[in-house]
Amino acid sequence: MELEKLFENNRKWAESKKVNDEHYFERLAADQSPTYLYIGCSDSRVPANEIMGLEPGDVFVHRNVANLVNNTDLNVMSSINYAVRHLHVKHILVCGHYNCGGVKAAMEPKDMGILNPWLRNIRDVYRLHREELDAIEDMSLRYDRLVELNVREQCISVIKTTSVQTLYTSTGFPQVHGFVFDLRTGLLRDLELDFPAILKDIQKIYKLTEQDLF
């Protein structure tokens, strides 16, 4: 049975954690202070903790279709706010992945119902980078590039939030990073976005504090 298997797996997992550390769950229950906030796609092939080799307690995770940071999405905004203001995460990782169905759907002239307004955010990313994308003739390479540019734009959306701006100006953290996971190799790639340069570039428009962000 599919569900019974889950509980059997769970019991084995809990036992395995206690083999080397009998107080493992007491410590886990006491508190959390993760170093990272991970914002990634809901895709079943991209398990956040597993691909980064992180344990329970290491990373605060938010996942949705196509790893979007939409400023009217109370869900992602709450996750960012909580992770930054209360958990004091040091790094925010926005992680996209190649072969992302959400990004693919946003490249096609197709009615996706309730997903239309959600995926329109990716169409907006396309519009912002239209020249670069249209110049890539190979459709699969264009698709890969849109995945990367989507990550970049979502990172910028993270920087636009008050919580990130306030904490960053006073402490230098959290820092935002754009990653892409390659399902074809299992490898994670850092897009090496220049966070201070991006901040400097957009602060005139988006800054919400008196202080300069950079």
Query: According to CB under 5 A, which one of 93, 100, 125, 147 is a site residue for Co ion?
Result: 100
Nearer to Co ion, 39 or 100 (CB): 100
Answer yes or no whether residue 144 interacts with Co ion by CB under 5 A: no
Query: Nearest distance from residue 181's CB to Co ion, in Å?
Result: 9
43 is catalytic: yes
155 is catalytic: no
Interface map 18-47 toward Co ion (x if CB under 5 A): -----------------------x-x----
Identify which range of 13-21, 99-107, 128-136, 154-162 contacts Co ion by CB under 5 A. Answer: 99-107
Nearer to Co ion, 61 or 100 (CB): 100
Token pair of 73 as six digits: 């999405």
Listed residue (44, 147, 165, 139) closest to 95, CA to CA: 147
Query: Nearest distance from residue 45's CB to Co ion, in Å?
Result: 8
Query: Nearest distance from residue 184's CB to Co ion, in Å?
Result: 14
Q: Which of 95, 100, 144, 177 is catalytic?
A: 100
Q: Which of 11, 21, 27, 45 is catalytic?
A: 45
Q: Which of 43, 62, 144, 152 is catalytic?
A: 43
Answer yes or no whether residue 151 interacts with Co ion by CB under 5 A: no
95 is catalytic: no
Q: Which of 23, 31, 73, 97 is catalytic?
A: 97
For 148, list phi and psi in degrees, rounded to 5.
-70, -45
Can you tell me the distance from the alpha carbon of 184 to that of 106, in angstroms, rounded to the nearest whole number? Answer: 21
Cross-strand partners of 64 = 41
21 is catalytic: no
Catalytic sites, residue numbers: 41, 43, 45, 97, 100
Q: Which residues would be at the binding site for Co ion (CB under 5 A)? A: 41, 43, 100, 102
